[in-house]
Chains A and B, each alone.
Chain A
């Protein structure tokens, strides 16, 4: 079964410290992985996707097929990073995205 697991409901990190939001997935095949973010009072929006191999707002995520993980990382947290982060996947033959339950990132001053 397709599943996305985000083990942390809440992650508190001091400003300037490194951030790692964990995401593990279950999918039989080649998934496409995404991170979506929702800032306070804003809409859900795409942060990055693994096929782009890009860095957005200092965040990167590497797909590790051996560990079936797609952790989101940033070397130095900023206060504006406080938000809800959702890991998501879709399959190459699927037409839907499956979201994890989300992790709330709280950056402490």
Chain B
């Protein structure tokens, strides 16, 4: 197992386009988290899944954002009608257990640039 993977690593898109990112967690990790990180900031929580259930969403996650984890394995994060303010690094993390304090293992991130 090579750890958490994310695809693509970089995405450049024009304002108004839709984009989708994928995260493959470490096998058998039941929790999967999405974060957004902008320049000069720490990661900001967006949402998380326990198995296939999305249990919490941040207020940062506007109605243009949607995340899924259909079979409790990989997850996708879709942004519709992208805006320049969506430009950021999108990080995925996974963990095994039932507590947020369980060690989260991060992926390399997807850097989104909206022109």
Contacts and interface: CB of A to CB of B under 8 A. Distances in A.
A34 B93 CA distance: 15
A55 B48 CA distance: 29
Where chain B touches its partner, the secondary structure class is loop
A97 B100 contact: yes
Interface in B36-76: 40-45, 48, 55-56, 58
A81 to B, nearest CB: 19
B101 A43 contact: no
A99 B35 CA distance: 10
Given A86-B42, A95-B56, A96-B58, A32 B101 contact: yes
Contact of B48 (A34, A46, A96): A96
Contacts of A44: 43, 91, 93, 106
A22 interface: no
A96 B42 contact: no
A49 interface: yes
Contacts of A95: 48, 55-56, 100
B108 A43 contact: yes
